Structure 1
């Protein structure tokens, strides 16, 4: 199963490399696109849950690494909930 990393820029300008066990991320995000915080969080939930399920379909177990990445995204996003107009930009994909 092809895994990938996607790099995001948080509202504080910090860039983070995020992991996915599947290229499904490309179906939910576009390089250079900026998403409102809530939309980024929801797209991340859908994409990483889908990726974890694809691992289950192929290997018989959920991808804990994808779920851990989702938890990190959720925690990071929570820090910016009170920031008006907070958004996240997709910087790049790395296969």
Structure 2
């Protein structure tokens, strides 16, 4: 199963490299694009759950790394919820 990483920049300028066990994230994000914080979290949740489900279908168990990455994204996003119009930029895919 092809895995991919995607680098994001949070509203405070910090960067994080995120993991997906599936290329599905390419259908939800475009490198160089900015997303409202909540939209980014929803897209991440959808893509990483699909990715985990694909691992489940192939190997009989969900992908703990994908679900862990989703939890990390959700946790990090809470730090920026109080900001006015927080944005997350997807910088690049790393294959």
Q: TM-score, normalised by structure 2?
A: 0.99
Aligned residue in 1 for 2:31 = 31
> Cα offset for 1:78?
0.3
User: Does the residue aligned with 2:16 lie in a helix, a strand or coil?
Assistant: strand
2:77 aligned with 1:77, yes or no?
Answer: yes
Aligned residue in 2 for 1:59 = 59
Q: In structure 2, what is the Cα distance between the partners aligned to 1:10 and 1:83? A: 12
Unaligned runs of 5+ in 2: none
User: Does the residue aligned with 1:66 lie in a helix, a strand or coil?
Assistant: helix
Give the alignment's Cα RMSD to 1 decimal: 0.4
The ranges of structure 1 where at least 4 consecutive aligned residues each deviate by more than 3 angstroms after the TM superposition are none
Unaligned runs of 5+ in 1: none
Q: In structure 2, what is the Cα distance between the partners aligned to 1:54 and 1:34? A: 27
Aligned residue in 2 for 1:8 = 8
Report how many residues are paired: 95
Q: TM-score, normalised by structure 1?
A: 0.99
